Amino acid sequence: MADEQKPGSPDAPLPEGGEAAKPPATPPAEAKPAAPKPAPPKPAPAHAAPPKPPATMAATPWDTDLSRDLKDRFAGQVTETSTYLGQNFAVVKPDAVIAVLEYLKLEADFDYLVDITAVDWPKRADRFDLVYVLYSFSRNERMRVKTYVADGYQPETAVGVHLTANWLEREVFDMFGISFAGHPDMRRILMPEDWQGYPLRKDYGIIQQDERWVQENLGIESGQ
Amino acid sequence: MPDTTFLDSTELVLNMGPQHPSTHGVLRVILKLDGEKVLGTDCVIGYLHRGVEKIAENRTWAQFNPYVDRMDYVAAISNGLGYCLAVEKLLNIEAPPRAQAVRVILTELNRIASHLLWLGTHALDIGAITPVFYCLREREEALKIFEKYCGARLTTHCFRIGGLQYETYDGFEKDCEAFCDWFAPKIAEYEELLTNNRIWVSRLKDVGILSGDECKEFGVTGPVLRAAGVKWDLRKAQPYSGYEKYDFDIPTRENGDTYDRYMVRMEEMRQSARIVRQAVAAIPEGPIMGKVGKVIKPAVGEAYVSIEAPKGELGYYVVSDGSTQPYRVRVRPPSYVNLQALDRMVRGGLIADVVAIIGTLDIVLGEIDR
């Protein structure tokens, strides 16, 4: 899907690329006006040579015993269960994450917390995706628990459920400034402790640095 | 208030690193000691932090590929494989069979090279000086194959998103086979030096025990997990790059101590050589690159892909916003997660064991700090 870049040759890559979605997309558009001649659709392909990728992830519903179980048990808290590229994930309200993780660990055998990370979407009201990657040894299955949190919101720590969350949450705090409530040791981990700013936020520039820290600790004007 | 001096306290806080020969890089461990006994530790990391994940957001998908080699620099090929697989997953493509076979060969050779460096330095930490010379000699031969293949020895950048950059050179198969034939007996030589060596055994047995359940709690993977009796290897559990086609065993041990981790890694080298032999014998013909455009532009979405790196589960969580640059690349480094269990392993032990335990975790600070 990535290759249909060149506006000049829209015809050649069509048979190979995953273009199946494009042609069926036009009939519904034609069906509504009914009368007008097919002139408007025609220039469209020429213009739409770089087929606009969907603005959101093209995830499909995830429907298994586990996802139904989650939705039943946490009615209203689990807002979405989807799968994308064969990988399942559940979107959970921020205050229910720990309960879901605990349930998944004790009742569904997701006993290995692989990773916790975040993604920054500055334009969104709930700015951060907080992502928990889980694995179950007995099921040999992976899933992700996602939640959306606003800047300044303090999600509850997962250390009580998975010990490994300790350093993983510290890194999320270090890089994104998401502070976890109840964490036993909420300090920076990779950056210096008195560093100002959270480097993996999108509004933190690639060459930005804490100049005061650099001058005081390294004795140079700039680290760049 | 009576005047107290440090002599009145039985506890001593000792700083180890970041410049210390047996912390394997710039790891700083603050130890709280009572005499020779370790009461607690605190790891200070980040000295090698280069902001790899931030750099990724400012490069194109393909441009970021060489950077991943700089994380676990003793197993750069594994890093590259994980990244390529993750982006391929986002693009929903697979490398052609020939590329997959060559990837497996190089990755397994790299696993051997990584384990050899671990063995040499670990033995050196314990006080056995001889093995490191042998290990580096053998590792050199593996690096020569990498050099002949792609021109680089350490940060190889062997793989491209969608396949391989280079066709194999003439005699690649022969070189790999010759390496396996020559290398396999060497493992027995190392074992002769160490496995039943009384000093080696008494320094390692029952030191730094981590049970299987504790491993799962801490998210510890790789040889450390397998030494604790958990038969889990991503190459078997969730095969990638055609690992399901090869016949190999997952070595496990029961006690989860430092000695068992040594034994597991020794056996893993044998198994890796076994995989290389099978893969070399059956490299399919065909293209080495899949259908990937000049501009890599995955659809909006996200994926988590992980592989069995020499040190454990190496994962990449990649997010695309539909542009030519990654929106987010998160690396889940095995060393970072494994190091967290250090405190549990050294608590109550002797200070001399700290060195043995850091060695047995097989950490690489480039990967921890990123």
- Residue A217 located in a structural domain: no
Same-domain status, A94 and A43 = no
Instruction: Name the average pLDDT for chain B.
Output: 89
Q: To the nearest whole angstrom, how far is the Cα of B345 from the nearest Cα of chain A?
A: 14
First-residue to last-residue Cα distance in chain A: 38
Query: How would you label B293-332 residue by residue, b for 16+ Cβ within 10 Å and e otherwise?
Result: beebbbbbbbbbbbbbbbbbbbbbbbbbbbebbbbbbbbb
- Residue B89 located in a structural domain: yes
Same-domain status, A12 and A113 = no
Same-domain status, A125 and A144 = yes
* Residues spanned by the domain of A112: 60-211
Instruction: Look at chain B and count its residues.
Output: 370
Q: Specify the number of domains making up chain A.
A: 2
Structure confidence by residue, pLDDT tens digits, A4-31: 444 444 344 433 433 444 444 444 444 4
Same-domain status, A146 and A170 = yes
Structure confidence by residue, pLDDT tens digits, B272-330: 999 999 999 989 888 888 888 888 888 888 999 999 999 999 999 999 988 899 999 99
Q: Is the pLDDT of residue A153 over 60?
A: yes
Q: What pLDDT shows up at residue A5?
A: 42
Structure confidence by residue, pLDDT tens digits, B16-39: 878 777 767 788 889 888 888 888
> Cβ contacts of residue B7 below 8 Å, gap of 6+?
none
- Residue A97 located in a structural domain: yes
Q: Which residue has the higher pLDDT, A72 or A10?
A: A72
Q: What pLDDT shows up at residue A2?
A: 41
CB contacts, 8 Å: B336 with chain A: 167, 171
Q: What pLDDT shows up at residue B5?
A: 67
CB contacts, 8 Å: B45 with chain A: 189-190
Q: To the nearest whole angstrom, how far is the Cα of B251 from the nearest Cα of chain A?
A: 17
SS3 assignment for A183-223: CCCCCCCCCCCCCCCCCCCCCCCCCCCCHHHHHHHHCCCCC
| Local confidence band at B7 (pLDDT 50, 70, 90 cut-offs) | low
Structure confidence by residue, pLDDT tens digits, B158-177: 898 988 888 888 889 899 99
Same-domain status, A18 and A121 = no
Please, are residues A133 and A144 in contact by the beta-carbon 8 Å criterion? yes
Backbone angles phi, psi at B31, to 5 degrees: -110, 135
DSSP state of B178: H
Q: What pLDDT shows up at residue A51?
A: 55
Beta pairing partners, B15: B30
What CATH number does the domain containing B203 carry?
Answer: 1.10.645.10
Locate B320 and state its tokens. 């695309």
> Searching chain B, which residue's CA lies closest to the CA of residue A88?
B303
| Local confidence band at A32 (pLDDT 50, 70, 90 cut-offs) | very low
CA separation, residue B253 to residues B210, B220, B256 (Å): 12, 15, 7
| Local confidence band at B262 (pLDDT 50, 70, 90 cut-offs) | very high
Q: What pLDDT shows up at residue A224?
A: 63
Instruction: Name the average pLDDT for chain A.
Output: 77
- Residue A69 located in a structural domain: yes
Q: What pLDDT shows up at residue A12?
A: 40
Q: What pLDDT shows up at residue B81?
A: 92
Q: What angle do CA B342, B344, B347 make, to 5 degrees?
A: 100
Same-domain status, A106 and A67 = yes
Q: Is the pLDDT of residue B229 over 80?
A: yes
> Searching chain B, which residue's CA lies closest to the CA of residue A114?
B219
Among candidates B296, B299, B369 on the partner chain, residue whose Cβ is nearest the Cβ of A190: B369
Q: What pLDDT shows up at residue A33?
A: 43
Could you tell me whether strands A141-149 and A128-136 are parallel, antiparallel, or unpaired per DSSP bridges?
antiparallel
| Local confidence band at B8 (pLDDT 50, 70, 90 cut-offs) | low
Of the listed ranges A44-53, A162-171, B37-46, B197-206, the one predicted with least confidence? A44-53
Among candidates B46, B55, B328 on the partner chain, residue whose Cβ is nearest the Cβ of A191: B46
Same-domain status, A70 and A43 = no
Structure confidence by residue, pLDDT tens digits, A180-210: 999 998 889 998 888 888 999 988 888 888 8
Q: Which B positions 92-121 lie with beta carbon below 8 A of chain A?
A: 92
Structure confidence by residue, pLDDT tens digits, B92-141: 888 999 999 999 999 999 999 999 999 999 998 888 888 899 999 999 99
- Single out the residue of B330, B210, B311, B341 nearest to residue A164, CA to CA: B341
Is A16 in Cβ contact with B92 (below 8 Å)? no
Q: How much of chain A, in percent, has pLDDT values that exceed 70? A: 75
What CATH number does the domain containing A207 carry?
Answer: 3.30.460.80
Q: Which residue has the higher pLDDT, B7 or B215?
A: B215
- Residue A220 located in a structural domain: no
Same-domain status, A49 and A83 = no
* Consecutive H or E run containing B172: helix B172-194
Q: How much of chain B, in percent, has pLDDT values that exceed 90? A: 37
Please, are residues B141 and B273 in contact by the beta-carbon 8 Å criterion? no
DSSP state of B69: T
Q: How much of chain B, in percent, has pLDDT values that exceed 70? A: 97
> Cβ contacts of residue B125 below 8 Å, gap of 6+?
B21, B22, B355, B356, B358, B359
Please, are residues B225 and B246 in contact by the beta-carbon 8 Å criterion? no
- Does any CB of chain A come closer than 8 Å to the CB of residue B365? no
Could you tell me whether strands A87-92 and A141-149 are parallel, antiparallel, or unpaired per DSSP bridges?
parallel
DSSP for B295-357 reads S--PPSEEEEEEEEETTEEEEEEEEE-SSSSEEEEEEE-HHHHHHTTHHHHHTTSBHHHHHHH
Q: What is the mean pLDDT of residues A157-165?
A: 90
* Residues spanned by the domain of B217: 6-369
Give the Cα separation of B298 and B321 in Å (integer). Answer: 8
Is B319 in Cβ contact with A199 (below 8 Å)? no
CA separation, residue B26 to residues B22, B29, B96, B197 (Å): 10, 10, 40, 30
Locate B296 and state its tokens. 């890599």
Please, are residues A5 and A17 in contact by the beta-carbon 8 Å criterion? no
Is B369 in Cβ contact with A2 (below 8 Å)? no
Backbone angles phi, psi at B44, to 5 degrees: -110, 115
Same-domain status, A3 and A68 = no
Q: Is the pLDDT of residue A52 over 70?
A: no
The half-sphere exposure of B57 on its side-chain side, counting CA atoms within 13 A, is 23
Q: What pLDDT shows up at residue A64?
A: 84
Same-domain status, A47 and A157 = no
Asked which of A11, A38, A53 is the last residue of a domain, the reply is A53
Give the Cα separation of B161 and B59 in Å (integer). Answer: 14
Same-domain status, A90 and A13 = no
* Consecutive H or E run containing B224: helix B223-227
Q: Is the pLDDT of residue A159 over 60?
A: yes
- Residue B1 located in a structural domain: no
Same-domain status, A165 and A101 = yes
Q: Tell me the residue type at A213.
A: W
Q: Tell me the residue type at B28.
A: R
SS3 assignment for chain A: CCCCCCCCCCCCCCCCCCHHHHHHHHHHHHHCCCCCCCCCCCHHHHHCCCCCCCCCCCCEECCCHHHHHHHHHCCCCEEEEEEECCEEEEEECHHHHHHHHHHHHHHCCCCEEEEEEEEECCCCCCCEEEEEEEEECCCCEEEEEEEEECCCCCCECCCCCCCCHHHHHHHHHHHHCCCCECCCCCCCCCCCCCCCCCCCCCCCCCCCCCHHHHHHHHCCCCCC
User: If you count residue pairs, one on A and one on B, with CB atoms under 8 Å apart, how many are there?
Assistant: 125
- Single out the residue of B248, B256, B201 nearest to residue B226, CA to CA: B256
Q: Specify the number of domains making up chain B.
A: 1
Q: What pLDDT shows up at residue B329?
A: 92
Among candidates A54, A117, A162 on the partner chain, residue whose Cβ is nearest the Cβ of B330: A117
> Searching chain A, which residue's CA lies closest to the CA of residue B336?
A167
> Searching chain A, which residue's CA lies closest to the CA of residue B49?
A190
